A and B are shown apart, each in its own frame.
Chain A
Amino acid sequence: MDINLSINGNSHAVQVQEDMPLLWAIRDIVGLTGTKFGCGVSQCGACSVLVDGRLTKSCSVSVLDAVEKEIFTIEGNSENLEFLRQAWTDGNVPQCGYCQSGQLIAATSLLDSIEKPTDKDIDNAMSANICRCGTYTRIKKAIHTAVQLKNQTL
């Protein structure tokens, strides 16, 4: 069927099967490959996106659920994501990098809802995302750094 997806502020007219998960519509139909496939069953967070600001595992929602909503992916830009990117860079966080799109989106969602998260907040928010390379220590630190960077700038 023909639908419209709004991703990072751009509208995409696409043709999809109605039961297709949002992940594959983003990757294979729209062609934005920054959002990753890791498990397909809501276990790893590699496919994380924001749908109308809500953290969503795109492998596990139908593309139809995202119609007429605003989808935000790692290719997008937001204030919090920018600070997080800077902190990820300062902390040299990624190893293979594959999980980091999902990690950054999950962290963006965290900062969107909690201005100054504690370690505990971070553990809760980020434990749905697996990093097989094991960069957790750095991710945690980078989230704190992003908050600091933000406070310095504002």
Chain B
Amino acid sequence: MINKLVIENIKYRLVRTLLCALVVGVQVMLILTLIGLSRGMLEDNANRAKGTGADIFLKPGATISFSAGQIDAKFVQFVQKQPHVKLAVGGLIIPVPGELLTAINGVDIAQFTQLSGGFRLQKGQPPSEPNDLLVDEYYAQQHRVNVGQIYKLLNHDWRVTGIMDGGVLGRLVVPLKTLQELTGNATPSRISQIFVKLDNPAAIDAEVKHLNSVLEGNLTAISAPAFLSQFSISNIPQLRSFIYVVVALAVFVGFLVVFLSMYTAVVERTRELGILKALGAKPFTIIDMLVRESIVLAVVGCIIGIILSFGAKGLIMAIMPASLQVVTVPDWWPIAGAIALAGALLGAIYPGLKAARQDAIEALSYE
């Protein structure tokens, strides 16, 4: 019977219930989108690194941050001469001005093709002339770029020669030399990282050790598996803290909205609660009833949130797939649900106690 009363009460105030659930849902959506975005961006970056086909990455530091032109290109020849190194390819990374996370990658196209096994082209050709530009599908979609058109980047006119699948090196690929000349990295020739392919992939760890000892701290070698594992939320403390903050905020906002909704409901229903008490409802029964209502809010809110998160994902991926990548994170659905539930239960405590403590006679004379 209590369940019936809960359901009838919810139906009686359907619009408010739905609004409240919607706010909870927006919270859930924000969490899911934040996680999906973090993971999507990281996975996307990891995929592109993986797509280079390198067994070992050489960088100025050991982290995933890049800075343009910090490595003397002579190191490429040096590394190429090391035992077990089949191929060493230098790459320059230049951020695109005005675009948050997009960079232009300069590589020797022929060498890089050998390293990676080639770009997976959807349209057109790989770059062959100095001013040729290869873009990936996401960049092409977001910026409406087509094969054959002239496209301006870094104040330079490029000819778009091809559109490739995402997941190899970067969104924008151009010949290394041209990029070096444009950015003052030509003399002396400077690059951002070195991709290394080994003749025996099983020897990666030994080779990393060897390279790190012969490079004497000038560069850091890191194996592809170790490098790729850095692209995860748990390995980025700042991102993790940020997520904790957002989750805490979500619990708080969920608490506030359920608190408000339940508080109004309790005041509004003063008389009704008085009737229940006169009929012999115990304080626990009253609290139980309100808690069940909050749980319904949280569950409905969570479902709305999951649905909304698909909408947010679709929207982001349709409008700006090059800047932002979102993935669906079903493993976070129960977590987001628990967060919504925690907020809702916290929100139900005070109104519940207030309702339970209310004097039945006074409540009955409440208009």
The yes or no verdict on A and B being binding partners is: no
Q: Report which B residues bind A (CB closer than 8 A).
A: none
Q: Report which A residues bind B (CB closer than 8 A).
A: none
